[in-house]
Structure 1
């Protein structure tokens, strides 16, 4: 109420600059239009003055009526004015172009800083993978860490912590491959199960220090700890979710991928597989049928 000043609407500086330049452009065109009209009126007046009023009738240049040279000189200035408006003085001008270039340079510098920050965030994860690989080099490797996942063409793997599709053969393959092995997963993936899967050792990664799980489920705080827990298993599997897959992709030896040949809306995604790191060794295609609503392929990748 009282004592409060009414806020004045603010115009973006860049928009204001565009408006000002547009106004200058309009003034340039108006002056050119006035020049053109005066040229037409003046030319008619000079011709009438010479031919009707006999002003300077006896004065000639190079055998021609003087008004012809007057009109040509005026026409020259008109052409020069047109050239000046549309060619020499550009809409925004050199100073505006320089400002835009400076802004582009600032944006590029900002983007570089963002990339540096992202790299800084990824550094601990990269360091973890390097430590893991170094430890493997120091001692003979006894297990093969495998990622197992079903992903759509757009890499969607789930929505609202649930599977997006139901493929009977894919579930059978998952059961066959993981049976008798350690399965490593994030907390949300574990909580998506109605109960622990039979004949498998569940290793759940969570930051919660007091997380409660059924008897037999192993709780750890990092992927590195989960791998250490499963070190005596010759074939432990990473089964999700999206963030765990992202971390495991730096450490895994193999990927067992079911590629569902459709695009789906999801909120969890599998990272893109880098062809320079992974080699496809198996590709088995399955068509639609009574038990499968979508075409899919069983793919196996091994690290190069």
Structure 2
């Protein structure tokens, strides 16, 4: 009742393209052949019209019969037609156009890869924290967000919410760098101060909704809000503690580190500095003396 459908022969795209090109070449050559025949007949007609019928026998160009120039012009058109069929369409047809297009595409791909590599070297490291991925796209990060910290060789920075050492020059450096800037910190770091530091705008990050602070201290709920609150400062500083440092390390442009050359017991640590991300740009060594119990170095890192 139901007969099987006859299988249709399949022709791949390359074969179909070859057939189309062959048919096109045949049409081109047929047109050229017709043109050649018409040229021969037309040339004979022009000669007979002038010599036998006397058409334009008194009309001459540069002393020569007019039909000679007519035949030469027509011959030029015929030669042009021959050139198109056997040169232009053969060697500069679809295949030639595709080849040139492929070359341009390759050149563009090379240029795009070059631009990608340049952008990769210059672009800031994208925040890996899921909390910031979406929100930071909507906010402008301060142009020179700087982390300032003193850390031991084992990255210890504090114990029981207190400093483990007292280094006079380190405190002076902290004061000099942060003076007249916004300083961003967690609640515990703020509470470690006897009172707010002079000549600085304090921004405290806390989850407590009713947290009370002295007048002039800004309270926010996230690092993102803290950075936004300091957006008019050309160089706000992140000053602690450990969790705030960890979040800020993904966003900061610079680290001002005092590296104390000892290991200490601690309950708060600074994250390890990835030297593939950060480049050391300054290193000043200090020896022990009557005001400094430990050797230390002032290090500056900038994002690569």
For Structure 1 versus Structure 2, the TM-score category normalised by the shorter chain is 0.5 to 0.7
Are the equivalent residues in 1 in contact too, given 2:142–2:227 (CA < 8 A)? Answer: no
**Structure 2 residue aligned with 1:244:** 244
Gaps of 5+ in 1: 1-122
Q: Counterpart of 2:175?
A: 175
Aligned ranges for residues 138-217 of structure 1 at < 5 Å?
143-217=143-217
User: 1:41-82 CA deviation, whole Å, 9 max, x = no partner?
Assistant: xxxxxxxxxxxxxxxxxxxxxxxxxxxxxxxxxxxxxxxxxx
- Give the distance between the partners of 1:261 and 1:188, measured in 2 at CA: 26
Aligned to 1:275: 275
Instruction: Measure the CA separation in 1 of the matches of 2:287 and 2:133.
Output: 38
Matches within 5 A, 1:113-128: 125-128=129-132
| Alpha-carbon shift at residue 275 of structure 1 (Å) | 0.8
Contact 1:132 1:251 in 2 (8 A): no
Q: Following superposition, which runs of at least 4 residues in structure 1 exceed 3 angstroms of deviation?
A: 133-136
Sort the Cα spacing of 1:148 and 1:133 in 2 relative to 1 into closer, same or farther, 3 A: farther
CA deviation after TM superposition for structure 1 residue 201, in Å: 0.2
Question: How far apart are residue 143 of structure 1 and its match?
Answer: 2.7
Distance in 1 between the 2:255 and 2:134 partners? 19
Q: CA deviation at 1:130?
A: 6.1
Aligned pairs for 1:220-299 within 5 A = 220-299=220-299
Query: How big is the shift at 1:126?
Result: 3.8
Q: Who wins on radius of gyration, i.e. which is larger?
A: 2
Q: Scaled by the length of structure 1, what TM-score is found?
A: 0.56
CA contact (8 A) 2:183 2:239 kept: yes
Aligned CA-pair RMSD: 1.7
Distance in structure 1 (CA, Å) of the matches to 2:247 and 2:302? 17
- CA change 1:151–1:134 in 2 (3 A) is same
Q: Distance in 2 between matches of 1:218 and 1:198?
A: 15
Residues 129, 195 of structure 1: alpha-carbon distance in 2 compared, 3 angstrom cutoff: farther
Q: Distance in 2 between matches of 1:124 and 1:290?
A: 44
* Preserved contact between residue 185 and residue 239 of structure 2 (Cα < 8 Å): yes
Alpha-carbon separation, structure 1, partners of 2:137 and 2:159: 33
Deviation at 1:133, TM superposition (A): 5.9
SS of 1:283's equivalent? strand
* 1:132 match: 136
1:126–1:287 Cα change, 3 Å: farther
What SS does the aligned partner of 1:132 have?
helix
CA displacement, residues 27-52 of structure 1 (integer Å, 9 cap, x when unaligned): xxxxxxxxxxxxxxxxxxxxxxxxxx
Q: Displacement of 1:234 after TM fit?
A: 0.2
The answer to whether the 8 Å contact 2:142/2:236 transfers is no
What is the DSSP-based 3-state SS (H/G/I as helix, E as strand, rest coil) of the residue aligned with 2:129? helix
Aligned to 2:176, the other structure's residue is in SS state: helix
CA distance in 2, matches of 1:277, 1:124: 13
SS at match of 2:175: helix
Q: Which residue of 2 aligns with 1:4?
A: none
Q: Which runs of 5+ in 2 are unaligned?
A: 1-126
TM-score normalised to structure 2 length: 0.56
